[in-house]
């Protein structure tokens, strides 16, 4: 059964199509909302309603879905400045003008893509507004304990991400570990992104700060548009 939240995800995924034009190089994020976007984009492409697009994936899952939909693939090597990136998010912090991503574990490639693109469109359902989530951090495996120590000294509560179907830690698409940093939302700001990335052994963290358009799914038809600068 399709739930209310799935309809809201579909609404924003559909709305995101209005930003896509013929010939565009499109960075494609990861997650369940982006999955709808890829399906809708693939359908438009097969029907000839959009032409000559190239998709730059941010995870193995997205790569597979783009391929399945017949969309031509490339990477940031060929196109270091994509025309647009479409991505999901885990929390939209309205008063801080930032978003948190990476609960799906794809934050490193997503951050690269989302910062490289000329324009960034974030698609979320309304449950993501000001949602309490940890900050995901992708870490070089041998640096794990050192990074944990540094994060504790900063006053945070780091937890190594574990999954199912494999013993102990989740391994990212890039072969790294992921730490989820629990900290008080009110202590988090734009500087936190830089502070976390300055710890040796940290590849990236899930705090995204840049100019972006956020489409928020309110119901199955309506999407509210927010601008972050």
**Catalytic site residues?**
110
Phi, psi of 12 (to 5 degrees): -75, -35
> Of residues 30, 172, 176, 205, which one binds ligand 5RP by CB under 6 A?
30
Task: Please tell me whether residue 15 binds ligand 5RP under the rule CB under 6 A.
Answer: no
Burial status of residue 130 (CB atoms within 10 A of its CB: 0-12, 13-18, 19 or more):
exposed
Q: Check: CB of residue 45 under 8 Å from CB of residue 69.
A: yes
Contact range with ligand 5RP by CB under 6 A, out of 11-19, 23-31, 38-46, 62-70: 23-31
- Give the shortest CB-211-to-ligand 5RP separation in angstroms: 18
Specify the residue, 110 or 193, whose C-beta has the smaller distance to ligand 5RP: 110
Strands 212-217 and 177-182: unpaired
Instruction: Considering only residues 58 through 97, tell me which ones interact with ligand 5RP, judged by CB under 6 A.
Output: 87-90
The yes or no reply on residue 217 touching ligand 5RP (CB under 6 A) is no
Q: How far is the CB of 22 from ligand 5RP (least distance, A)?
A: 26
Neighbours of 112 (CB within 10 A): 17
Question: Six-digit token pair at 185?
Answer: 């939302």
Query: Phi and psi (nearest 5°) for 201?
Result: 100, -15
| Interface residue list for ligand 5RP (CB under 6 A) | 29-33, 87-90, 101-107, 110
């Amino acid at each position: 059964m399709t739930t209310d939240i799935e309809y809201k995800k579909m609404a924003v995924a559909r709305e995101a199509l209005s930003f896509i034009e013929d010939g565009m190089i499109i960075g494609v994020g990861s997650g369940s909302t982006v999955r709808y976007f890829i399906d809708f984009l693939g359908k438009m492409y097969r029907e000839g309603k959009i032409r000559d697009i190239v998709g730059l994936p941010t995870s193995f899952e997205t790569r597979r879905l783009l391929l399945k939909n017949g969309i031509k693939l490339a990477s940031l090597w060929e196109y270091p400045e994509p025309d647009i990136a479409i991505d999901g998010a885990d929390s939209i912090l309205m008063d801080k003008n930032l978003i948190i991503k990476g609960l799906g574990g794809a934050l490193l490639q997503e951050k690269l893509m989302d910062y490289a693109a000329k324009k960034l469109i974030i698609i979320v359902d309304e449950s993501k507004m000001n949602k309490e989530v940890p900050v995901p951090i992708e870490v070089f495996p041998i640096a794990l304990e050192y990074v944990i120590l540094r994060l504790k000294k900063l006053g945070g509560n780091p937890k190594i991400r574990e999954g199912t179907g494999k013993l102990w830690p989740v391994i990212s698409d890039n072969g790294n570990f992921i730490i989820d940093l629990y900290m008080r939302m009110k202590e988090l700001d734009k500087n936190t992104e830089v502070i976390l990335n300055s710890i040796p052994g940290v590849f990236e963290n899930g705090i995204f700060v840049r100019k972006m358009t956020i489409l928020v799914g309110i119901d199955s038809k309506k999407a509210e548009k927010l601008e972050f600068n």
